[in-house]
Structures are given as C-alpha cells and as structure tokens.
Structure 1
Amino acid sequence: MSVNMQSGPYTLPLRLKRVDFEEPLDGDAPKRKRPRLSQPPSPGLAPCLRLRTQSLSAGGPEQPCASRIGPYILLEMTEGTHTHRAVHSVTEKEYTCKVFSMSKYQQLIAPYARLQPHDNVSHIAEVVTGERSAYVFFERNYGDMHSYVRTCKRLAEDEAAHLFGQMARAVAHCHERGVVLRDLKLRKFVFADQQRTKLVLQDLEDSCILKGEDDSLTDKHGCPAYVGPEILNSRHSYSGKAADVWSLGVVLYTMLVGRYPFQDAEPAALFGKIRRGVFTVPDSLSPRAKCLVRCMLRRTPSERLEAAEILLHPWLSSGGMAPTDTHLAPRSHTDQVVPDFGGNDSEDLL
C-alpha cells in the first residue's frame, strides 16, 4: 500500500507496512524468546548477506543476531543503538535500518518529507511499522567520511574538492527547502558507492524545519569540534544556516589538513579557542583552498558565505587543483588527528 507523507508543501512517497512481530525498544520491557537459527533464513542468500554471528561469552556458543521485520531480515547493529544492517529476503538487496519509537518517528523523519529528491541527500526506501516501533529503511552505504578521513589522514585537493562539492550541494539543497541541519559533521556524510566517489547526507533526524524565511534558532545543539562561536557566545538566537556553514568549514579544513581547526582535550579550552576564532592554515594548501576555508570560518556569521555561494567559489569550479609544486609537509608527532569516536559520537553533543 502506498501513501504520501506530507510536511508543508513537499511530499515524500513512502511504503508503509504493518507487522505484528518486533523487538521492544524499551530495555525494561520483557523480551520475547526467539528460536535459535542454525542456518541462514534463506538458502539462496549470497554468502555476504547471510547472518553474521557473535559470541555472547568467551568460549561460549555463537548466537545469530537477526530478526525478521516484514520482508526484511535485520542483522547486526552497525553505527548506533538502533541502527541495523538489513537485507530484503526476496531481492537480497542490502539496506540500513533505523528503529524509532512509534511516538516519535514521524517527527524524526519529517525533514526527509520536507525535501525534494536530491542526488546527495539520502532518501527513505520504505517504512515498516509495528505496535511499538517504526523500522525506517535506507539504501545501504559504504562507510562515512569521518572514518575515511581518519584512514587517509588527509585528502588531496582534487579529491577533496570532488567530495566537498557534493557536501555543499546537499547543504545548499536543505537550506533552500527550509531545513537547517544543526549537528553537521563529517560522520553525517556517507558513501553511496563502493568506489567511494559519491556522497550522500544521512541522518537528518537532528535537523530543524523552518516555518518561514527566518532561520533564527535558540537551542544549543551540535558536536563540540564543529560548533560555531556564536552558539557558544549568544544568549539569544543565532542564524542556523550560518552555523551550518561554519560546520562545513570545519569539515573542509579537516579533510585537507587531517585535524580539526580547533581542538583541545579540555572542553573549556576548546570552546575558548572557538570563541576567539583563531586558527592556522598550512602554507602547503593552495591559495584558493585557504580562501574558501577562511570564507566559511569567519567569526562573524553575517560575513560567512552562504551554502549556495560556496558552490560558486573558484576552488570548487577549478576542481581543487593546487599548484604542481605544492606538497604537504610531513606530519609531526604533535599533530592532533581526527579522533576515533568508535561507532557513535553522540556523547559529543552539547
């Protein structure tokens, strides 16, 4: 059965299905016993899609971590407490499944409904609802940008321009449709292809939908390394779109340099550096790359580029081509690289 979910003037077609069996989200609620699965749920599943097992205790028997939701098989958890790897039992296509409580899921997925389809913004493939939970399925991804930058240490300017241009297009699309992302960071962008050439913006659940042209926000929301100085300084409202652009500046700097522009082990010291807005850009970066970073990391929000203006910057239009004699200096042991937060950095929210 097909229905249209509406939020404002924009619609997003979703397939809603109802299921009777589901695991409780509430940890205090009694869990139903599941029969042990001694073989894959479908003999025809490709090996890479079959159940992965995990040992509950050292030397103990391995238990498959899977359950069936409608036509989907939920496998192991991936990035968060309620995010699973999933596979369609008929098509064998892989998905990412997020599990929300029924009381909150419509509010959480409202930003997806507000946006029109875009190549660099993830879309909902299907929603399966139960009595207590909603299972929201997305196209599978091939890793996030935080992990990629941490692995690569830093990106060459041509590759960074190719990927960052897709990020900027996603953010500009959201801003144009009245969606402010708030908690914008590297981990929000995931690869849509195995070759890691196409990025999509994922996790819009923290976004804010604007009611009009005014993008003033009052809540303090974001990851400390990416938060703008006006959020730390202001006791009143601030521009949500300008705060997103600041976070994009942190994203670009980190991609090119391999560390955050503002970083300290102590939160108070970190916030002090952000408030002052003073950072250094390596001389090894091309002049155009330096210019774009500085145009986004301006301490005064009104002086920053808007998301749509970023797309017009010469560094992006030239493909991030740096002078041929430009080389990055060797990393010193005192450099602070992009930290590894594990599978979930939600503890870093303000």
Structure 2
Amino acid sequence: MRATPLAAAAGAPSRRKRWELDNDLDTECPIRKQARIGPQPRLPSCPLPPSPLPAPAHACAGTTASRLGPYVLLEPEEGGRAYWALHCPSGTEYTCKVYPAREAQAVLEPYSRLPPRGHVARPADVVAGPRHLYTFFPRPHGDMHSLVRRHRLPEPEAAALFRQMAAALAHCHQHGLVLRDLKLRRFVFTNEERTKLVLENLEDACVLNGPDDSLWDKHACPAYVGPEILSSRASYSGKAADVWSLGVALFTMLAGHYPFQDSEPALLFGKIRRGAFALPEGLSAPARCLVRCLLRREPAERLTATGILLHPWLREKPIPSAPPRSHLWEADQVVPEGPGLEEAEEEEGVREAGLYG
C-alpha cells in the first residue's frame, strides 16, 4: 500500500537508524545508544531540524502528525500504543508499535531468537528514542478475526489459511518461543487477495531458556484460554496452551463461532474446564479429527505444533464441507463484530480467574 510522498529527507528506510521525534513522543537529546535485533554495523546519527509538519492531505481532519526521522506518525490505534505511520521518502505506509524504552530488550529479544521466515512478521525498521522504542511493520490487509466475523470458512479455504497459522506456531516453538496470547486477530493478511497470512508480531512472546516450557503466569485471552491455565496447578506447558488456542481458532474458522461461549466469565471458564464442545454439521472426518486433537483437556494428549502440519487434513486436499442440514448455518455466525470474547471480557476475566498476571 502506498501513499503520496511528503517532502522529507531522502533515503529508504533502514534498520535501527538513530532518529529523534520532532515533537510530543520523544524530544530529548540525541540518542547515544540504541537497541538492536542482531549484530549490525554502527550507523551515524542523522538528526533532522525540529519543525512542525502538517498532516498529509489524505489524513483525517483533526489528525495530529508527529515527526520521527523520515517517518510521520498519524492517528493512533490501540489506545495509543500503535500508530499509522508514513515513510515520507517512499510514501510507504506502516504500522508503528510504540513501547517504553526500558522494554526494548524484552521486545526485540524474540526476533533475535527467531530466524526469518515468511509466516512471522518482522519489523521493517526499528528506531530507538530516549523514552520510547518504535517498531515499524508493513500495514496488513485485514486480519483473520475480521474474515471469520463475516462468514464461516469452507474447508479448502480454512485449510489453506490454517496451514500458514500452524507453520508460524511451529516455527516459534522450534526456536524456543511460546506465544501465549494466540488468537485469530493476531494473524494478518499480507496481500489484498487475503490468501497469505503472517503472525503480526511477537508481542507477549515468552523466550524459553531450555527444553522446559513450563510457565507460571496466567496470561491468555478468555475465549482462547486453555483449561490447565484455569486450574489451581502452579505451572503449565506453554506450548500445549498455544496449541489449545490454535484449536479454538480452527474451530471458529470452521464453525463461525467460538467452541466455548458465555457472557458471564465464570460460566465461560466452567465450560472451558469441562472441555465439552459440539462440532458443526457437515465437517469432513479429517477436519473433525484435527479439531479434537487440538482441543483435548489434557495438555499432554494434544498434538504438537509440528505434528499439526503432518495431519492428513493439512497434507491432503481437503474435502469440501457438506451442505448444512438445517437453517442454523447462518445463525451460527456469532463471532463478535467488535472485540467480543477476545477482548471485551478481558477486564472482568482478569478479576474472575487471575489471568494476565
């Protein structure tokens, strides 16, 4: 996606340049040290004179633009932690994620651990300021939650997309990363046809220091949380919890609604603990088998992320879903239009089950 370039210093974006923001986000003295994803040659400082920058003509009325080196940060998203950003020399649009500078190592460490691969997005540029760290990602063409919200997916389409989701998870697990907050919204499309997916970032990923993937913090999204996280046991397998969340995503893609639903968090968590769900009519036997292999109450009985990729439903051409035998097909489309169970229950879910510790 491209936009009309603005007048700015020439040059294409490059990783970890040392720029300063001209106004409200970072206005301190020039940077002396910056975070790095990996070994890189030292880049010279290239300060720009502080000057007010008008918003581009295509920006919304009332939008306040902030200057960060060759970038313009426009309207904020996600409560101010992310911005629509424009690289002035090229006119390329990005999503800029903003973090406190003290979190730089934790934010960048997962990317240094993970070799580049097509199914996990990586920052196109990283800018370190004295107060904030800025990571720039190419702007996506929507996400999986938005797609499933509109219609339940036929098996061939679901298999093609889910294979990419499983590949992203397997890649992370193979290199010692547990994603923890895994959900449909985190998988975004990189093309307008909406056929190519990537995991949008490694935010909240936990870096393992060895083969033991035991976690203690109760960090998960209510609709996707595994039953073991809701139990009283001290620790749980982070990788198995990721697989459960991926199973919830697959069920939702095929059914058009979450496997466990309730407006009351206490009742929702009770259903998750019991682990009972009803698969929709018309699914092929391999699809039903894979869902059941992921949504097992006992973590040790679930497939591994690598094992998912070997399942027949993903290795063979999927059998088209049979037509539904009732009028309830459309009525099943109850994935919330807004954040819904993914986020709307988070605050109450935290109080109810101690999640997000």
TMscore range, shorter length: 0.7 to 0.9
Deviations, residues 50-92 of structure 1 (Å, cap 9, x unaligned): 54124xxxxxxxx233221110111222344211111110111
User: Which amino acid is the alignment partner of residue 339 of structure 1?
Assistant: P
User: Which amino acid is the alignment partner of residue 168 of structure 2?
Assistant: A
In 2, Cα distance between equivalents of 1:121 and 1:96: 15
1:102 and 2:85 aligned? no
Alignment partner, residue 89 of structure 1: 88
User: Which amino acid is the alignment partner of residue 20 of structure 2?
Assistant: V
In 2, Cα distance between equivalents of 1:269 and 1:334: 22
In 1, Cα distance between equivalents of 2:70 and 2:91: 10
Cα 1:20/1:80, change in 2 over 3 Å: closer
Q: CA shift at 1:110, angstroms?
A: 1.7
What does 1:95-174 align with in structure 2 at a 5 Å threshold?
A: 95-151=94-150, 153-174=151-172
Alignment partner, residue 40 of structure 2: none
SS in 2 for 1:160: helix
In 2, Cα distance between equivalents of 1:311 and 1:220: 27
Alignment partner, residue 185 of structure 1: 183
Alignment partner, residue 309 of structure 2: 311
Asked if structure 2 preserves the Cα contact closer than 8 Å seen for 1:51 and 1:75, the reply is no
Asked if structure 1 preserves the Cα contact closer than 8 Å seen for 2:98 and 2:133, the reply is yes
Cα 1:309/1:329, change in 2 over 3 Å: farther
Number of aligned residue pairs: 311
Deviations, residues 289-323 of structure 1 (Å, cap 9, x unaligned): 00000000001100000000000111111232236
Q: 2:264 aligns with which of 248, 263, 266?
A: 266
Give me the identity figure in percent: 55
Q: 1:213 aligns with which of 207, 211, 214?
A: 211
Alignment partner, residue 327 of structure 2: 330
SS in 2 for 1:124: coil
Alignment partner, residue 297 of structure 2: 299
Deviations, residues 185-225 of structure 1 (Å, cap 9, x unaligned): 00110001111110000131111000000000111000011
Deviations, residues 222-252 of structure 1 (Å, cap 9, x unaligned): 0011000011014211100000000000000
What does 1:231-242 align with in structure 2 at a 5 Å threshold?
A: 231-242=229-240
Alignment partner, residue 22 of structure 2: 21
Asked if structure 1 preserves the Cα contact closer than 8 Å seen for 2:53 and 2:67, the reply is no
What does 1:34-53 align with in structure 2 at a 5 Å threshold?
A: 37=54, 40=56, 50-53=57-60
Cα 1:336/1:265, change in 2 over 3 Å: farther
The alignment yields a C-alpha RMSD, in angstroms, of 2.4
User: Which amino acid is the alignment partner of residue 300 of structure 1?
Assistant: E
In 1, Cα distance between equivalents of 2:278 and 2:112: 40
In 2, Cα distance between equivalents of 1:268 and 1:171: 29
Alignment partner, residue 245 of structure 2: 247
Alignment partner, residue 43 of structure 1: none
Q: CA shift at 1:36, angstroms?
A: 7.6
User: Which amino acid is the alignment partner of residue 92 of structure 2?
Assistant: K
In 1, Cα distance between equivalents of 2:192 and 2:333: 29
Q: CA shift at 1:178, angstroms?
A: 0.1
Cα 1:266/1:346, change in 2 over 3 Å: closer
Deviations, residues 25-50 of structure 1 (Å, cap 9, x unaligned): 8xxxxxxx99583x63xxxxxxxxx5
Asked if structure 1 preserves the Cα contact closer than 8 Å seen for 2:120 and 2:199, the reply is yes
Alignment partner, residue 33 of structure 2: none
Asked if structure 2 preserves the Cα contact closer than 8 Å seen for 1:296 and 1:305, the reply is yes
Using the size of structure 1 for normalisation, the TM-score is 0.83
| Gaps in structure 1 of 5+ consecutive residues | 1-12, 26-32, 41-49, 55-62
SS in 1 for 2:124: strand
Q: CA shift at 1:107, angstroms?
A: 1.1
Q: 1:197 aligns with which of 195, 198, 204?
A: 195
Cα 1:77/1:331, change in 2 over 3 Å: farther
Deviations, residues 101-159 of structure 1 (Å, cap 9, x unaligned): 111122123212211101000001111122211211112211111111102x2001000
Q: CA shift at 1:347, angstroms?
A: 6.1
In 2, Cα distance between equivalents of 1:221 and 1:346: 16
Which one has a larger percent strand, Structure 1 or Structure 2? 1
Single out whichever of 196-205 and 106-115 deviates more from structure 2. Answer: 106-115
SS in 2 for 1:96: strand
Asked if structure 1 preserves the Cα contact closer than 8 Å seen for 2:222 and 2:345, the reply is no
Asked if structure 2 preserves the Cα contact closer than 8 Å seen for 1:97 and 1:138, the reply is yes
SS in 2 for 1:212: coil
Q: 2:287 aligns with which of 286, 289, 303?
A: 289
Asked if structure 1 preserves the Cα contact closer than 8 Å seen for 2:17 and 2:127, the reply is yes
Using the size of structure 2 for normalisation, the TM-score is 0.81
Alignment partner, residue 73 of structure 1: 72
In 1, Cα distance between equivalents of 2:192 and 2:279: 32
| Gaps in structure 2 of 5+ consecutive residues | 1-13, 27-49
